[in-house]
Amino acid sequence: MNYRHAYHAGNFADCMKHALLVTLLQSFLRKPAPFMVLDTHAGIGRYDLHSPEAEKTQEWRDGIGKLWNEDAASPLADWLEQVKKAGGPEFYPGSPLIIAQMLRAQDSLICCEKHPEDKRSLYRLFTNTPNVTVHERDAYEALRALLPPKTAKRGLILIDPPFEEPGEFNRLAQAVQTIQARFANAIIAIWYPIKHRTPVRIFHETLMGTGIRNICVAELLMRPPHNPDQLNGAGLLVIRPPFGFAEKASAQLERLQHVLGAHESCVTQLVEE
């Protein structure tokens, strides 16, 4: 409950996660059928990059601060369009605002935020957005309560926990099983930090042992993952990625690696279809 994303908004991990999120959302827009997105750890939706919190860490300067002037030919252009639409460069959008901006009238977004103050900020942001609902509830309880959706047969479940409590990778593995039982055709996207390799490897092996097919992993490392007390990189694990996702994600990560001066990027098919 003490985690506040305002200190980290717009950093390299946000840029990586949101660029790939836009690519996932674009796949739904190819067809007219409605889709639903459940954002389980939504935050406040939009962050002031000149707030005391952001100025204290200035993490955004090594993230969105280096990417703002990408040209229209960049593989990051579609994501940056959403960032600018949200009020940049003064503000950086969280995942719920990026999602909401890309919804059509027939689509919907459900946001869950456990922190009461952040939930109120998020609710105010979407007061006049009828296809977005905001819940103050635990993310993992929400998976049981809100799935399957009543309004769509297609959907994306975005799980982006703060990883401030032990056992988060175990909870994520259990969450995947819950989603499988309740909304088996959903795309599942799980963000995770990379400090050192052991917890990530165990998480991957756990999911590989479930029998779930078609699991893709995209990772961006700013430095070798040798220091467990430092955020060295970030990953996005996607279950049932849309056609062409791996190729687009590879191009996006390669560009992020080049501009941000990252150590390494990769997209791996952890389990084949």
pLDDT reported for residue 82: 97
Q: Is 160 annotated in some ligand binding site?
A: yes
pLDDT reported for residue 161: 95
pLDDT reported for residue 1: 37
Q: Is 263 annotated in some ligand binding site?
A: no
pTM for the full predicted model? 0.96
Handedness of CA 214, 218, 224, 229 (dihedral sign): negative
Give ∠ CA 7-202-144 in degrees, rounded to 5: 70
Neighbour-count burial of 65, counting CB atoms closer than 10 A to its CB (0-12 exposed, 13-18 middle, 19+ buried): middle
Q: Is 113 annotated in some ligand binding site?
A: yes
pLDDT in tens, 199-242: 999 999 999 999 999 999 999 999 999 999 999 999 999 999 99
Q: Is 258 annotated in some ligand binding site?
A: no
pLDDT in tens, 6-23: 899 999 999 999 999 999
Q: Which residues of the chain have pLDDT under 70?
A: 1-3
Catalytic residue among 71, 107, 160, 229: 160
pLDDT reported for residue 3: 57
160 annotated active-site: yes
Domain annotation for the chain: domains and CATH numbers: 5-271 (3.40.50.150)
Residue type, 178: T
